[in-house]
Amino acid sequence: MTDRCRERPLACARVPIRVGQTRRSYSALFTHRVARRSDVGDRTTHWTQILLDLGRAIGCDVADATPTFAVSDAARVSVAQLLAACDVVEPYVVLHPTRGIAGARMRWPIAPFAALARELHATTGARVVVSGDATDTAIAAQIAAAGDALSLAGQTSIPQFGALAAGALAVVAMDSGPMHIAAAVGAPTVGIFALQSDEPDRWAPLGPTTAVVRATYPCPPEHRKETCPNYACIEALDRARVLAALDRLLPHSKV
């Protein structure tokens, strides 16, 4: 391989059709250049449609862009064993109270999610299971202890979380990857977008039964999820709106 190819592998790949974004230093290397909608001020089109614009440039599209997440039999069995070991029987509700924000772990609010866990149990009659990854274990344990719930944070892989969500009465989640997985496996999913900068139109969960709780707290314009100093919007979470959104998804429940 020449030095030129090491530095610019796309130029030497001899791929006849190359699709990519405009407005990049390397855009001249593409045979089909696509203006990404978000680069020209679009803040409401869902990200799936923005990505599909790349496929549309060469005549590839789908009639339904709703993602799906296949749950394996192995994941179902392992989750069933985990729930049985914790004396959890259906129905249960999954509460995913965190999101991947660097530096937020030490100041992430606990009280509003503990209260929400208690209210979810009271209104649905279902056991509440708090989910999270290995870095969420301390937060999830505190929420579960104060909210009369069970924490499984750090005990499920991504495939296992998909199985956990698929078996749930519903999933209530912060804007996060698990929120999208829950929607994709078909679980009734309520996505919470607490910050004014969260852009729920772009990142809403897509699935057969979903709802979005939009931000109402007056966040200062400069606050972003990575840099928010106190997450006051979550401390002030309007839990009644979360429960109302769940009620719309589960019309026959006790909510």
Domain presence at residue 57: yes
Please indicate, yes or no, whether residues 149 and 171 belong to a single structural domain of this protein: yes
Domain presence at residue 5: no
**pLDDT of res. 226:** 77
Domain with 176 in it: 73-249
The total number of structural domains that make up the chain: 2
**pLDDT of res. 102:** 46
Please indicate, yes or no, whether residues 22 and 107 belong to a single structural domain of this protein: no
- Here the CATH number for the domain that contains residue 107 is 3.40.50.2000
Domain presence at residue 2: no
**pLDDT of res. 5:** 64
pLDDT digit of tens for each residue in the chain (255 aa)?
566 566 666 667 778 999 999 999 999 999 999 999 988 889 999 999 999 999 999 999 999 999 999 999 999 999 999 999 999 988 999 999 998 874 566 788 999 999 999 999 999 999 999 999 999 999 999 999 999 999 999 999 999 999 999 999 999 999 999 999 999 999 999 999 999 989 999 999 999 999 999 999 998 888 887 778 888 999 999 999 999 999 999 976 554
Please indicate, yes or no, whether residues 86 and 51 belong to a single structural domain of this protein: no
Please indicate, yes or no, whether residues 80 and 140 belong to a single structural domain of this protein: yes
Domain presence at residue 12: no
d(CA 212, CA 191): 5
